[in-house]
Structure 1
Amino acid sequence: MILRGIAGLIATLVLWTAVVHLFNVPAYLLPGPVEVLSRIAFLYENAKLLRHIGVTLSEIVAGFVFGTIAGILSGVVFARLPRVERFSTPLILLLQTAPKIAIAPLLLLWLGIGPTPKIVLIAIVTFFPVMQGMVTGLRYGEGSFRDLAKVLKLSPWQSFWHIELPSAHPAVLAGMAVATTLAMTAAVIGELMGANEGLGYLLSSGQENSDTAVVIGMVVLLSLIGWAFYEVIELIRRCSIGRFQLN
Structure 2
Amino acid sequence: MGNKTTTRFNWRMIAGQLALLLFILGAIEYIVSAEIVSSLYLSQPTLVMKEIIRLFWDGEIFHHLSVTLWEFLVGYVLSAVAGIGTGMFLVLIPRAETFFKPFLSALLAVPKVTIIPMLMLWLGIGLSNKIAIVFLFCFFTIAFNTITGIKQTAENHLKVARVFEATKLQTIMKVILPSAAPTIFVALRLSAATGLVGALFGEMMASKDGLGNLLVKATSLYDTTKAFAIITIVTVVSVLIIALIDLLEKKIVLKWKSS
TM-score, normalised via structure 2 length: 0.85
CA positional deviation for 1:192: 0.9
Calculate percent identity across the aligned residue pairs. Answer: 26
Q: What's the counterpart of residue 117 of structure 1?
A: 129
Q: CA deviation at 1:203?
A: 0.7
Aligned to 1:158: 170
Greater shift, 113-122 or 99-108, is seen at 99-108
CA displacement, residues 66-116 of structure 1 (integer Å, 9 cap, x when unaligned): 000001110110111223223322332333232222222211111111111
Write the deviation string for residues 184-204 of structure 1: whole angstroms up to 9, x where unpaired: 221111111110000000111
What code does the residue aligned with 2:243 have? E
Q: Which runs of 5+ in 1 are unaligned?
A: none
Contact 2:130 2:202 in 1 (8 A): yes
> Deviations 1:97-153 (Å, cap 9, x if unpaired)?
322222222111111111111111111221122212221222223532431122111
Contact in 1 for aligned 2:200/2:211 (Cα 8 Å) = yes
Distance 1:192 1:90, change over 3 A: farther
Structure 2 gap ranges (5+): 1-9
Counterpart-to-counterpart distance in 2, 1:41 and 1:70? 38
Paired AA for residue 58 in structure 1: W
CA distance in 1: counterparts of 2:148 and 2:37, whole angstroms: 50
Instruction: Give the distance between the partners of 1:57 and 1:10, measured in 2 at CA.
Output: 29
Cα distance between partner residues in 1 of 2:106 and 2:27? 42
Correspondence 1:1-247 to 2 at 5 A:
4=14, 7=18, 9-44=21-56, 48-141=60-153, 143-245=155-257
Mapped to 2, the partners of 1:45 and 1:146 lie a distance apart of 56
Give yes or no for contact 1:36–1:217 (8 Å, CA) kept in 2.
yes
Distance 2:226 2:43 in 1: 10
Q: Distance in 2 between matches of 1:44 and 1:141?
A: 47
Q: CA deviation at 1:30?
A: 1.5
| Cα separation, 2, equivalents of 1:234 and 1:246 | 18
Cα separation, 2, equivalents of 1:223 and 1:156: 42
Instruction: Tell me which moved more, 73-82 or 235-244.
Output: 235-244
1:96, 1:125 within 8 Å by CA — same for their partners in 2? no
Q: Secondary structure at the match of 1:241?
A: helix
Pair 1:226–1:139, CA change in 2 (3 A): same
**What's the TM-score once normalised by structure 1's chain length?**
0.89
Distance 1:201 1:243, change over 3 A: same
Sort the Cα spacing of 1:223 and 1:233 in 2 relative to 1 into closer, same or farther, 3 A. same
In the TM superposition, residue 22 of structure 1 has moved relative to its aligned partner by 4.3
Distance 1:137 1:31 in 2: 44
Q: Cα 1:246–1:190, aligned 2, differ >3 Å: closer, same or farther?
A: same
